[in-house]
Amino acid sequence: MPPVLTALAVLASITTAPPSPLLLIVDPARAAGADPRVVRTLADAVQLVGDAPPGTPSFDIRIAPGLHEVSSSIGIGKLPAPLRIHGAGPASRLIGGAAVHRPLLRLDPANPILTRLPPESGSRVRSIDLRSPWEAGGAWVGRAGIGGPMRHGMNLPAAAGSELFLDGTPLIPARWPNAGFAIVESVVDPGSSKDRTKPGQPLRPGVFRFADLAHLARWGAADGVWLSGYWHWDWADDDMPAGKIDPEEGTIALGLPHTYGLGKGARFRVTNIPEELDAPGEYWIDARDTLAYLIPPAGCPETPELIVSLLAEPIIALDGASDVLIADLQLEAGRGLAISATNVDALRVERCAFRNTGTGAVELTGRASAVRDCTFENIGATGVLVAGGDRATLTHAGNEVRGCAFRACARTHRTYQPAVRIEGVGQTVAGNRMEDLPHCAIIFAGNEHVIELNDVSRVLLETGDSGAIYCGRDWTLHGTVVRHNLFHDIQGTDARYQNAVYLDDMASGIAVEGNVFVRCHWGMLVGGGRDIRIAGNVFDSCAKGLSFDARGAGWMAKDIADPARSTIRRRLLAVPIDREPWSTRYPTLATYLTDRFGRPANGLVEGNVFLATPLGRIDDRECVRLEANVESPTPLDPALVARLLDPARRAGLGDLVPGNAPPDFNPIPVSRIGPRMPSADER
C-alpha cells in the first residue's frame, strides 16, 4: 500500500475512538498486507506520527529485523507526545547506503582496468556492479550516487566519500604502503603555513622529494591520486588530492596547502588508485562506471553482503524534539552521521550499535539527554559529541554518555575525533570502555563535567604530543573532575610522547582524583595550568608519573602576554568571570592577569601513590605544592593487575587501596569501572 493510503487507513482507524497510543511497525515484507499499522520505512512511520490527531498520548514505532535502507535523512521535530523508536537489537539495521547482492566476478581479459592494476594482482581482483541500488524502482532513484574522496583533517569539516563494507567490515581504499606510512626525507618547498604566512599572502602547497622512481612513474600517470598524512606535526592529519607528481624531478606536490606546511620526517600514504590495489581487503571504486574492484579477504564468499555508503546526511536528524527513545537498533554505513540531535530535551539513545559510519556516530546538543549502553565500532570520526548548558550562567545540561563501549573510532579522520567530545556545561561521561584509537579518547571544553569510571586503553596509537583525556588553551575550564578512571597500556616514547591525561597549554581549574594508571608512558602532563588538583591517584609501572611544567613563564610567555595574539586571553574575556555565579564559584579567575602572571599558581599534588614509577617533574615548586605523596619501587601485584585489567573479573575486586598508601587515602572503586558486565543469567 502506498504511504499516503497507509496514512489514511491508519488515521481512519484511530479517529472513530478516543485517542490512544499509536503503534506502527516498520516491516517492508509485510507492508502490502491488510494491517494498516505496518509500513514500509521508518520515514513513512515518522510521517504518520506527524499526522496523528491531537491528544494522541504516545507514539510507538517498532522496526522489524532486517536491512532497512535509508535513502534520505529521517527528520524528527517537535512532537506533541513521547515517541519510542525501537527494534529487535542488532538484527534491526538502518543503513545509510545500499546493499549489493551480486556475485564477485573475475575480470574479463579485455577489461582495460588490467593495464592499471599491479601485474601480480590481475588474477586476484574481482569486480562488482554497484548500479543496482538506484536502478528503476529502487529507493535511491534520483537521490544519490557514489561520492568520491573528500578532503578532511584537523580543523577541517568532517566529510566522507562512499566506502565499501563487506560482511560488516570496512574495506580499505587501495593505498601504498599497505601498512604504516612512508617518510618525507627531503623537503623541496615547505609551502605556506599559518605561522609563516602574513595576511593577504597567497597560500601554496608543499613539495617533497621521493626516491622510488618506479612508484613515481606509476602514480604520475594515474588519475585521481590522493595523499593522506601527518604533514608536519604528529597531531595534524590531512587527506587531500595530490598535486603534480614528477618522475623526472623525483618530486611529489601536495594538491592543497596544509595548515602547518610540510616538514621533514612527515608521514604519508598514497591512496585511491587501482595502481596500488594489491592486498586482500583493498578496493577501488570507479565512480564514472559505478563499478568496484577489490581483492576479497580470505574466506570471502562468492556472493558476500556488500554495502556501499551513499547518504551524506544523518540517518536520523532530530531538531527540537523532546521525550524520544531510540533503542535496540544498529545504525551503520552512511557517509555522514548516524544520529544528529539538535536542541533536544530528554532524548535517550539506548542499547544501539553504531558501526561503519563515514564521519561521526552521534552528535547531541540539548539537555537531560543520554547515550547509554551502546557500542561504537569502526566509526569514521568522533563516536559521540555531547554538548549543552549555558556557560554564562553555568547552567548544567545534565546530559550523559554512560555504559558504552568504543573501539576503533577515528577510523578515517585520525586526529581530534575522539570516542567522546564534551562541550558546554555539566555533562557526565561515566562507565565506558574506550580502546584502539589513533588519537584521544575524550576531549573536553567548558565547565563542570564529570569524567569517571571509564576504562581507557591502547589509545594514541598513531599520534604524539597528546593525551587519552585532553583539553587545552583555556584558563576558564574550571569545575571539571576526572576521577576513578582506569588508564592502561598507553605506550609511547620520549620522541613522540603520549599521556593518559594531558591538560594542555594553561588549561586550569581541573581536578584529577582517584584514577589508576597502569603501564602508561606518562601518567599526566600539565601544561602550566593554574588551580590544578592531582590527588589520590595510583601510578603503576609507568615511565613517568607526571610532568607539571611552567610554560606560561617560559616558552608560552610571549603568547599569553600579548592580548592581540593570545587565544587564552580572548577566552578569559569571553565569560563573565566578574559576575555571579562565576565570581563566587571561581574567584581566582579574576586574579589570573595580576597574581603570578603566567605561573602555575595554586597547584596541588597530594596523596598520590607512585609504584615502580618516578613521580616526575615539577617546574615551579613555589606555585605547585607536593604533600603526602608516596614513591615505592615495588609495583602492584601482577595477579591483582591481571584482574584489574580484565573487565569480567574486575567486579569482584571491590575498592583499591595500595598497601603503602597514605593513611587518609580514599579507596578507588575499581569494581565499578567500565560498562556493567552482564550477569550469568543475562548472558
Q: Which amino acid is at 569?
A: R
pLDDT, average across residues 344-358: 98
Would you say 365 and 381 are in contact if contact means Cβ atoms under 8 Å apart? no
* Residue 127, Ramachandran bin (φ over 0: left; ψ between -120 and 50: alpha; else beta): beta
Q: Which amino acid is at 170?
A: P
Per-residue model confidence (pLDDT) at position 440? 97
pLDDT, average across residues 151-156: 92
Report, in this order, helix, strand and coil percent for the chain, each rounded to 5.
Answer: 15, 35, 55
Question: How many CA atoms within 13 Å lie on the side-chain side of 341?
Answer: 31
Per-residue model confidence (pLDDT) at position 200? 77
d(CA 260, CA 82): 49
- Rg over CA atoms, the chain: 27
Per-residue model confidence (pLDDT) at position 248? 94
Q: What is the pLDDT of residues 493-512, one digit of tens each?
A: 777 789 999 999 999 999 99
Q: What is the pLDDT of residues 69-105, one digit of tens each?
A: 999 999 999 999 999 999 999 999 999 999 988 899 9
Q: What is the largest CA-CA distance in the chain?
A: 81
Per-residue model confidence (pLDDT) at position 621? 97
**Burial environment of residue 626 by CB neighbours within 10 A (0 to 12, 13 to 18, 19 or more):** middle
Predicted structure pTM score:
0.94
Cα–Cα nearest to 455, from 496, 486, 492: 486
Given a cut of 60, is residue 141 above it in pLDDT? no
Per-residue model confidence (pLDDT) at position 132? 60
Would you say 403 and 373 are in contact if contact means Cβ atoms under 8 Å apart? yes
Given a cut of 50, is residue 683 above it in pLDDT? no
- The residue with greater pLDDT, 343 or 491, is 343
Helix 3-14 to helix 42-51 angle (10° resolution) is 40
**597, containing H or E segment:** none
Q: What is the pLDDT of residues 118-127, one digit of tens each?
A: 999 999 999 9
Q: What is the pLDDT of residues 162-178, one digit of tens each?
A: 999 999 999 999 999 99
Given a cut of 80, is residue 233 above it in pLDDT? yes
Give strand ranges (E) for 333-483.
339-350, 353-355, 362-367, 370-372, 375-377, 384-387, 400-402, 405-407, 420-422, 428-430, 433-435, 442-444, 450-452, 455-457, 466-472, 481-483
**Three-state SS string across 49-66, please?**
HHHCCCCCCCEEEEECCE
- Percent of the chain clearing pLDDT 70 (strictly above): 94
Per-residue model confidence (pLDDT) at position 142? 44
The grid coordinates listed for 223 are 588519475
Number of Cβ within a 10 Å radius of residue 590: 14
Reported confidence tier of residue 564, pLDDT bands at 50, 70, 90? confident
The grid coordinates listed for 387 are 554538548
Per-residue model confidence (pLDDT) at position 19? 76
Reported confidence tier of residue 32, pLDDT bands at 50, 70, 90? confident
Reported confidence tier of residue 5, pLDDT bands at 50, 70, 90? very low
The grid coordinates listed for 167 are 560482511
Per-residue model confidence (pLDDT) at position 237? 95
First to last CA, the chain: 41
Q: How many residues in the chain?
A: 683
Given a cut of 90, is residue 194 above it in pLDDT? no
d(CA 521, CA 461): 12
Given a cut of 80, is residue 198 above it in pLDDT? no
The grid coordinates listed for 308 are 556501499
pLDDT, average across residues 519-547: 98
**557, containing H or E segment:** helix 557-561
Q: What is the mean pLDDT of the chain?
A: 93
pLDDT, average across residues 355-360: 98
Reported confidence tier of residue 131, pLDDT bands at 50, 70, 90? confident
Secondary structure class of 309 (helix, strand, coil): strand
Per-residue model confidence (pLDDT) at position 1? 45
Q: Between the CA of residue 6 and those of 10, 29, 73, 490, what are the distances in Å?
A: 6, 15, 21, 55
Q: Which residues of 147-160 are buried (b: 16+ CB within 10 A; e: fewer)?
A: bebbebbbeeebbb
The grid coordinates listed for 528 are 602550566
d(CA 271, CA 295): 16
pLDDT, average across residues 553-567: 92
- Could you tell me how many helices (H) and strands (E) the chain has, helices first? 8, 57
Per-residue model confidence (pLDDT) at position 113? 94
Q: What is the pLDDT of residues 619-678, one digit of tens each?
A: 999 999 999 999 999 999 999 999 999 999 998 899 999 999 999 999 999 999 999 865
The grid coordinates listed for 60 are 510507538
The grid coordinates listed for 72 are 534520505
Reported confidence tier of residue 12, pLDDT bands at 50, 70, 90? low
Q: Which amino acid is at 387?
A: A
